[in-house]
Amino acid sequence: MSLIDSLDLRPKKAAGCPAGPCCALIEASPDSRLASLTSAMANNQDRNFDDLADHFSRKIYGGIKGQIRLAVLSADLTPIVTHLMANRAEPLRVLDVGGGLGQLSIRFAQQGHHVTINDISPVMLDYARVKAREAGVEDTISWHCGPYQDLIGLALEPFDLVMCHAVLEWLQEPELLVPTLAALVRPEGYLSLCFYNPASIIYRNLIRGNFNWLQQAQTYVADSGSLTPNNPCSIEQVRGWMAQSRFEIQKESGLRVFSDYVVDRRGGHQVPELVLAMELQYSGQEPYKWMGRYLHVVAQKDELDDLST
Ligand SMILES: C[S@@+](CC[C@H](N)C(=O)[O-])C[C@H]1O[C@@H](n2cnc3c(N)ncnc32)[C@H](O)[C@@H]1O
């Protein structure tokens, strides 16, 4: 029996959400194993993006960085969706954890899939709602405003695909993310995890000659208004958490594998379409993908879903 199955699935009361109605989300009795996970997060110090929403929207998605992110994630997820949709007529259940502006989720909703978007930030969800309204899918999406840790206590049917992009590095306790999300993915379903690559900041500063910065990096703390996260995790850590939660990694790619490092924009670097095409081409290739400012891991959950065995 899965952790989700072991929850009390009887409907209780609708969960409240300051950003609007959370139509599909229902509270349930917490399983004791899951409760121990979530209770550890009572004093949540994860990074709520309320004060960064505007800056994030302009700096990342106002230009090529966001285009590369969406293009690589879409390219990686398209074959997964095709695989999941083979021999089935009903739409997928997709969860976007820390969904932010919700771009990929809105596309999934436009394709007819059942989408739930979670974020701790009501301001980010307000931005996403505006985009969803413009796309004509606001009312088909289930909105959950609150820490992702709260999802585990809700009577949610497990998801075919859980996406969690650029959230891990903002968490106080990143090691709890993958095991918690594992409980939300159905057996043989997929987890799409994108996270900041700590090696990239070292490499970028090596290229730029910021050797003093590197000497001090042990004690580096990002500015509170910065989009550079304070708590990045390595690919080795992520692989370990995936294995412990019985995920098999199917794909690993890099996002922004060269364009972020360029100091002198010459030749093709001056043509955004070409940069995007080359980023896509090299995102999955060894060894270039390991230079990515972000890494993307797509993993499939074991068909055996009882984590207690
Ligand atoms: C860098 S943004 C990424 C947004 C989106 N996934 C994307 O790729 O564009 C990180 C998001 O995680 C949210 N977040 C941080 N901690 C969270 C938590 N514990 N639960 C849910 N969302 C969280 C922030 O509010 C923010 O919207």
Q: pLDDT at residue 21 above 60?
A: no
3-class secondary-structure state, position 127? helix
Atom of ligand 1 nearest to the CA of 229: 1
**Does 32 map to a domain?**
no
**Is residue 187 within 8 Å of residue 302, measured between CB atoms?**
yes
Atom of ligand 1 nearest to the CA of 66: 9
| Cβ(180) – ligand 1 distance below 6 Å | no
Q: Which of 167, 181, 296 to mutate to test the pocket of ligand 1 (most atoms within 8 A of CB)?
A: 167
**Does 10 map to a domain?**
no
| Cβ(108) – ligand 1 distance below 6 Å | no
Which of the four pLDDT bands, split at 50, 70 and 90, describes residue 57? confident
Secondary element (H or E) of residue 83: helix 64-85
Give the count of beta carbons closer than 10 Å to the beta carbon of residue 221: 7
**Does 16 map to a domain?**
no
Each residue's pLDDT tens digit, 201-258: 999 999 999 998 888 765 556 666 777 787 899 999 999 999 999 999 999 999 999 9
Q: For residue 213, what pLDDT is reported?
A: 83
Ligand 1 center–CA 102 separation, angstroms: 10
Structural domain containing residue 267: 52-301
Which of 32-36, 133-137, 256-260 is predicted least confidently?
A: 32-36
| Domains in the chain, number | 1
Q: For residue 91, what pLDDT is reported?
A: 97
**Does 22 map to a domain?**
no
**Residue nearest to ligand 1 atom 10, measured at CA:** 167
| Cβ(170) – ligand 1 distance below 6 Å | yes
Q: Which of 161, 157, 159, 193 is nearest to 174 (CA)?
A: 193
Q: Which residues of 84-117 are buried (b: 16+ CB within 10 A; e: fewer)?
A: beeeeeeebbbbbbbbbbbbbbbbbbeeebbbbb
Ligand 1 center–CA 139 separation, angstroms: 21
Secondary element (H or E) of residue 142: strand 142-145
Q: For residue 19, what pLDDT is reported?
A: 37
**Does 182 map to a domain?**
yes
**Is residue 21 within 8 Å of residue 143, measured between CB atoms?**
yes
**Does 154 map to a domain?**
yes
**Does 202 map to a domain?**
yes
**Residue nearest to ligand 1 atom 1, measured at CA:** 166
294 exposure class (CB count in 10 Å sphere: 0-12, 13-18, 19+): buried
Q: Check which CATH number belongs to the domain holding 127 and give it.
A: 3.40.50.150
pTM of the model: 0.86
Which of the four pLDDT bands, split at 50, 70 and 90, describes residue 34? very low
**Does 106 map to a domain?**
yes
Question: ω into residue 287 within 30 of 0, thus cis?
Answer: yes
Q: For residue 222, what pLDDT is reported?
A: 65
| Cβ(128) – ligand 1 distance below 6 Å | no
